[in-house]
């Protein structure tokens, strides 16, 4: 373990950012700038509590982590030796070199990293590969393979997108269709996904949105409320006729 003199956060070369423990002292606060190890901190805690050894420090002079490990109680995670760190760095360099030498391997690595965070359409991945200057023919081969194994599925992406954006954001079919088109989903796949949202679903979502917004418009007259709510529904992809009907009904109910 080591302390960073700038932040006071303990860590190691392989495990940065581990939260600091209470009682840890910055290196800059020690005499001569030297760092005290756990054994020194445990000895201080034992002395402050009147203890004479690590067992007494553990029992009443300080928290468990302050006592040094015993022979039958190994410390947390072992630190890597110099040789092990060197081997790890070498392996990472070799992997990067292999990716640079083989465009297909680099393209696969890029796609897998992007897919780890969230699902992506084929078009989104193709655009990402193009930005990283992967040859077009290589990108096509890699994307074809990812489709074969099911890591790219534009149909499943579209269905999940529609369900999430409609229920969580209350978006209408028109805006949902536009978002799918921008992400490269084929029209037939988009239409199949949009079939999840029928007219009754749109009306229910629009009513919920209007009722929620009306609670924030108490100081406005009905015309201002009508204009703002109809505009908000239109931006969310609802037909104009449906928007007017829903808002008028809500205003009547409010009166």
Residue with the larger pLDDT of the pair 26 and 193: 193
pLDDT in tens, 132-187: 999 999 999 999 999 999 999 999 999 999 999 998 888 999 999 999 999 999 99
pLDDT in tens, 186-240: 999 999 999 999 889 999 999 999 999 999 998 888 999 999 999 999 999 999 9
Distances from the Cα of 140 to the Cαs of 12, 27, 146, in angstroms?
42, 54, 10
**CB neighbourhood size of 234 (10 A):** 17
Q: Which residue do the tokens 């800059």 mark?
A: 28
How much is the pTM? 0.57
DSSP-assigned letter for residue 29: G
Distances from the Cα of 133 to the Cαs of 59, 92, 128, 167, in angstroms?
62, 22, 9, 38
pLDDT in tens, 52-83: 444 444 444 444 444 455 545 455 556 788 88
């Amino acid at each position: 373990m080591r302390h960073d003199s700038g932040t006071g956060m303990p860590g190691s070369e392989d495990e940065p950012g581990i939260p600091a423990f209470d009682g840890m002292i910055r290196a800059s606060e020690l005499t001569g700038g030297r760092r005290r190890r756990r054994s020194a901190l445990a000895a201080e805690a034992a002395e402050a509590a009147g203890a004479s050894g690590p067992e007494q420090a553990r029992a009443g002079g300080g928290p468990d982590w302050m006592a040094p490990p015993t022979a039958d109680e190994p410390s947390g995670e072992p630190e890597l030796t110099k040789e092990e760190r060197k081997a790890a760095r070498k392996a990472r360099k070799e992997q990067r070199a292999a990716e640079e030498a083989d465009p297909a391997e680099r393209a696969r690595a890029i796609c897998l990293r992007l897919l780890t965070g969230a699902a992506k359409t084929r078009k989104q991945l193709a655009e990402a590969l193009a930005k990283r200057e992967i040859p077009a023919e290589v990108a096509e081969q890699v994307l074809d393979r990812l489709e074969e194994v099911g890591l790219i599925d534009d149909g499943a992406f579209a269905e999940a997108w529609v369900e999430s954006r409609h229920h969580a954001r209350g978006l209408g079919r028109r805006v949902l269709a536009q978002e799918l088109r921008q992400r490269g989903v084929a029209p037939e796949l988009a239409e199949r996904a949009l079939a999840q949202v029928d007219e009754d679903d749109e009306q229910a979502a629009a009513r919920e949105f209007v009722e929620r917004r009306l609670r924030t418009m108490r100081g406005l007259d009905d015309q201002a409320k009508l204009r703002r709510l109809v505009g908000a529904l239109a931006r969310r992809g609802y037909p104009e006729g449906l928007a007017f009907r829903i808002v008028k009904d809500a205003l009547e109910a409010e009166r």
